[in-house]
Structure formats: C-alpha cells, structure tokens
C-alpha cells in the first residue's frame, strides 16, 4: 500500500526524493557560449535588475538585490563554516532559477573558467563591454563605466551598509593568480571535507573575489556584481569535481564547524543588529550536519545541506560541461 501511494505521488511529480536525474542541465563555461547565448544571459540578468523586490528584505529594491540580501544577511553564518560550499551552491541554483522562471532565460547558469584567466584577469573575455560584464572600475569611486551593468544602482552594500552606489571594480592581475590551476589541483588532492572546504574557500575562492576587486572583494555584499554568480558557479564545479572523486561518501557526509567567527579580517565587521553566530537550524551541536538548514529568506523553500550535496540527486539535476 505504502509502495503504491509512493508510486502515485511520483506520477504526480511530487516525489522529489525519488525523481531520477536522467537529463541533467548543462552548465557551461562562459567563454564557450555563443554571442547569442551570452546576450541571452546578460539580458535575463538585466531583467532581474528591473523586477521589483517581493520579499521585504532590508533595502532591496529589485529581485537581483534580494539575492544579494540573502547573502548579506547571513554572511557570517555562511563563510568560514562547513555550510560555505553547500550554501553558495544553493545560491547559484536560486539565481539560475530566478533567471529561468522569472526572466524567461532558456539556458543554465554558466561558470567562469578562471584558471584560464588567472594572472591575467584584465584581458579576460568576461570583461567584454558587449558580450560580457563590462570592464574595470574607473575614476575615484572605481565605478564600472562600460558594458550592460554600467548604470546599475546597487542599493545594498558596501558590506552591511546600505547606500546607493555603482558596481565598482579594481582588477588585480596579481591577486587573480589565486585562481590558478595549481591551487585548484591542491584542493582536489585533499581527502577529507574538513581539509578540502577551507582549501577551496581560501584559494581559489579568494583569487576571483580579489582579482575582480571592488564590490566583489567585499565578503558580505559581493553578489552586487553579477560576476559573483560566474565565479561561485566555477567554485561549485571545483567542489563537485572534488566530490566526484568519491561520490558515494562525499555526497552523503559533511562536517566542519557551524559557528562562524565573530570577526574575520577582510570581512566588514558584523554589526550589532546581526546576531552573533552560535550554531545553525538543523544542526544539533556546533558541527555542520546533513540536516543543516540553508535559509533562503522566503525566496524559495529552505533546503538542507543533505538536499544539495549531490548535484544529480533529485532536487538538483545538473552537470558541469568541461570547457
């Protein structure tokens, strides 16, 4: 009887736990997209930047801002903790879903194949003014002056401050060397989550944020630059490449502290109205578990880390196409 009702539930498409991922979405490297595909992605992002906010989160004016707010509001609870990689995976999925469901984007979330540009971000095709995200910051404020996002007014950031400002950048080729293949390989060689996660969060993660600079270098408000999603989707690929080396174990176990630091150098200080991290919903103690709740602030249903550890696990169903 129970079997039959499960089958009926599956036929009604409400059995995510049983749904097989038979046709995974293909996430591709930005530089391999056609010009038309790049423009479709850019136009969908511009659409999110025009769609009015609907979640009531502080200072957010648009749907693009709301995704940034989800990151800003829990920055200290989602960095330097075991949830870092699963949380950002969930954010990439939320962004991809918003583009597709709200802005008619027909592709999937692309990634920036950063090792190809490491040490030479300045000349990356990502910064193209027509088929990319615009160039470096200029002038005293470092505002980007070219490309489709040149005139976007960010309402969130910098950091925990909420002011009206431009998307700013300060490309550093030197810092971008952190995204090099050797740094990726060094993390992929590690055999425990407790060592691989901090490795990925250190370098290559910092290479992309610091290599772009400006808004992207702000650990709290970095999703104010649309490049954030290309960078973190690449990191998600690095995480998946690591998981795939021992898929059975690495999609079913997690660890690391769930108590973020009170303050981290390079992060804006946590203001007093943001609670000091002391643990997380779904974790019984101070260690990150599969039951850990990823808080999406009403943008989409909360999910647990266990739900997102396998990118072809039913809830998520995508794969990374090598460049």
Ligand X SMILES: *[C@@H]1O[C@H](CO)[C@@H](O)[C@H](O)[C@H]1NC(C)=O
Would you tell me which residues interact with ligand X (CB under 6 A)? 47, 103-104, 148, 150-151, 281, 293, 295, 298, 302
CA distances for 58 relative to 73, 90, 300, angstroms: 9, 21, 17
Q: In the complex with ligand X, which residue's Cβ is closer, 132 or 208?
A: 132
Query: Which position's Cβ is nearest ligand X?
Result: 281
Q: How long is the chain?
A: 323
* Cβ-proximal residues to 166 (8 Å cutoff; 6+ apart), any chain: 141, 143, 144, 150, 151, 152, 153, 154
* Cβ-proximal residues to 42 (8 Å cutoff; 6+ apart), any chain: 131, 133, 148
CB of 172 to ligand X, least distance (A): 25
CA atoms 108, 183, 322, 39: torsion sign: positive
Q: In the complex with ligand X, which residue's Cβ is closer, 97 or 302?
A: 302
SS3 154: strand
What distance, in Å, lies between the first and last C-alpha atoms of the chain? 48
Q: In the complex with ligand X, which residue's Cβ is closer, 29 or 75?
A: 75
CB of 281 to ligand X, least distance (A): 3
E strands in the chain: 25-27, 137-138, 143-144, 293-294, 303-304, 318-320
CB of 88 to ligand X, least distance (A): 17
CB of 223 to ligand X, least distance (A): 19
Asked if residue 154 lies in contact with residue 215, where contact means CB atoms within 8 angstroms, the answer is: yes
Q: In the complex with ligand X, which residue's Cβ is closer, 20 or 281?
A: 281
Q: In the complex with ligand X, which residue's Cβ is closer, 29 or 167?
A: 167
Q: In the complex with ligand X, which residue's Cβ is closer, 103 or 311?
A: 103
CB of 102 to ligand X, least distance (A): 7
CB of 197 to ligand X, least distance (A): 21
Alpha-carbon distance 156 to 163, whole Å? 6
CB of 226 to ligand X, least distance (A): 13
CA atoms 210, 214, 215, 218: torsion sign: positive
Q: In the complex with ligand X, which residue's Cβ is closer, 167 or 200?
A: 167
SS3 312: strand
Q: In the complex with ligand X, which residue's Cβ is closer, 47 or 167?
A: 47
CB of 57 to ligand X, least distance (A): 13
Alpha-carbon distance 180 to 182, whole Å? 6
Bond before 204 cis per omega within 30 degrees: yes
């Amino acid at each position: 009887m129970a079997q039959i009702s499960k089958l009926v539930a599956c036929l009604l498409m409400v059995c995510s736990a049983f749904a097989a991922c038979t046709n995974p979405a293909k996430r591709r490297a930005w530089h391999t997209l056609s010009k038309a595909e790049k423009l479709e992605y850019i136009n969908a992002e511009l659409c999110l930047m025009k769609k009015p906010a609907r979640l009531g989160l502080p200072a957010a004016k648009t749907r693009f801002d709301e995704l940034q707010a989800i990151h800003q509001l829990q920055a200290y609870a989602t960095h330097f903790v075991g949830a870092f990689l699963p949380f950002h995976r969930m954010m990439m999925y939320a962004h991809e879903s918003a583009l597709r469901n709200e802005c008619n984007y027909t592709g999937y979330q692309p990634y920036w194949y950063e090792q190809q540009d490491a040490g030479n971000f300045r000349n990356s095709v990502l910064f193209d003014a027509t088929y990319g995200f615009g160039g470096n910051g200029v002038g005293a404020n470092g505002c980007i002056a070219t490309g489709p996002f040149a005139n976007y007014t960010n309402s969130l950031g910098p950091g925990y401050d909420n002011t009206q400002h431009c998307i700013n950048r300060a490309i550093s080729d030197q810092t971008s060397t952190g995204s090099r293949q050797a740094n990726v390989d060094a993390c992929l060689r590690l055999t425990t989550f407790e060592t691989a996660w901090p490795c990925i969060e250190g370098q290559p993660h910092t290479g992309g944020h610091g290599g772009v600079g400006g808004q992207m270098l702000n650990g709290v408000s970095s999703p104010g630059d649309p490049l954030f999603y290309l960078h973190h989707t690449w990191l998600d690929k690095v995480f998946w490449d690591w998981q795939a080396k021992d898929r059975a174990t690495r999609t079913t176990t997690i660890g690391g502290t769930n108590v973020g630091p009170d303050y981290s150098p390079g992060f804006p200080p946590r203001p007093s109205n943001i609670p000091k991290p002391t643990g997380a919903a779904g974790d019984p103690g101070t260690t990150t578990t599969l039951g850990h709740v990823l808080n999406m602030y009403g943008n989409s249903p909360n999910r647990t880390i266990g739900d997102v550890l396998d990118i072809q696990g039913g809830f998520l169903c995508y794969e990374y196409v090598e460049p």
